Amino acid sequence: MIRLERWKKWLLSLVLISILPLIAIWFVGWLLIRPAERVIGAPPSDLAVESVVIPDATGMPIHGWFVAGVEHQGAVLLLHGVRADRRSMIDRARFLHAAGYAVLLIDFQASGASPGRAITFGYREAEDVKASMRYLHQRLPGERVGIIATSMGGAATILAEPDMDADAVVLEQVYPTIRQATEDRLAIHLGPMGPWLAPILLATLHPHLGIYPDQLRPIDHISHLTMPKLLIVGDRDRDTTIAESYAMFHAANEPKELWVVHGARHVDLCAYVGAAYKVRVLNFFDTWLRKKS
């Protein structure tokens, strides 16, 4: 009887040792996709902001701010990164509006004030990009429209093709594949052993979201973007490495530009670079969005 009890305890310990890591990984997967909804609060007082609600393809509301610009001077859609919201794009909105552009800042589904079941790293957020672009074209008929998209917002922009009607896009620090993005982040937090856990963590993607890792490969779609592109990357970025950013640039078709920001990690590049960011982005949009006389 004593031997039987010891055998049961040994078996139970073995089961727990096998199951607990899987439960932990499942929980980590859930943490990564859980909604980042929050109260946005009042808009900045220095911008004449209009609160807007844009229905997505399923009728769910996308909340945002619209700032009118000068007629025939173009418009720009601003798209935030993962677990952020429209407020992270306010500084960009300020200098674009000062230059005469109309601006639309949105909260992706499951972020900020927009409801949603989960964050999908650009896959379902691509529908929010399409809906927002339709809104801008309907509200400002005849205006040329650009996009500034950071990180996940950039992935959503690329994955929105071929139904995303933009005239010029700025893409900042966009991951090539969700597999590489996962490996990079695990390496940052867990060291050399981290990337070995990536396949296990990615295996939770379909049970959680109903999508597969191969559906999150912006590098396979960036060549579909026929409009002018400015890619801005940091050469010390560990979340999306400089080698991965070069691969994204080489996969893109002309017309395209690459701006490597020296010393920048995976940060807000507008805040990091300051005035140089404003000059570079305005020159890019002035070239491609302004009406020619």
Position with higher pLDDT, 203 vs 284: 284
Domains of the chain: 47-177+216-289 (3.40.50.1820)
Position with higher pLDDT, 93 vs 25: 93
Of 22-26, 206-210, 254-258, where does the model show the most confidence?
A: 254-258
pLDDT at residue 163 above 50? yes
Q: What b/e readout covers 158-180, taking b as 16+ CB neighbours within 10 angstroms?
A: bbbbeebebbbbbbbbbbbbbbb
Q: What pLDDT is recorded for position 139?
A: 97
Q: What pLDDT is recorded for position 34?
A: 95
Residues 6+ apart with CB under 8 A from 82: 36, 119, 121, 151, 152
pLDDT tier, 293 (very low <50, low <70, confident <90, very high otherwise): very low
Classified as helix, coil or strand, 36 is strand
Spell out where 45-144 has E strands. 49-55, 61-67, 75-79, 102-106, 111-112
Q: What pLDDT is recorded for position 30?
A: 82
pLDDT at residue 42 above 50? yes
Question: Between helices 125-139 and 152-159, what is the axis angle to 10°?
Answer: 70
pLDDT at residue 3 above 80? no
pLDDT at residue 27 above 80? no
0.95 exceeded by the pTM?
A: no
The mean per-residue pLDDT over the stretch 237-258 comes to 98
**Percent of the chain residues topping a pLDDT of 70:** 91
The mean per-residue pLDDT over the stretch 179-195 comes to 89
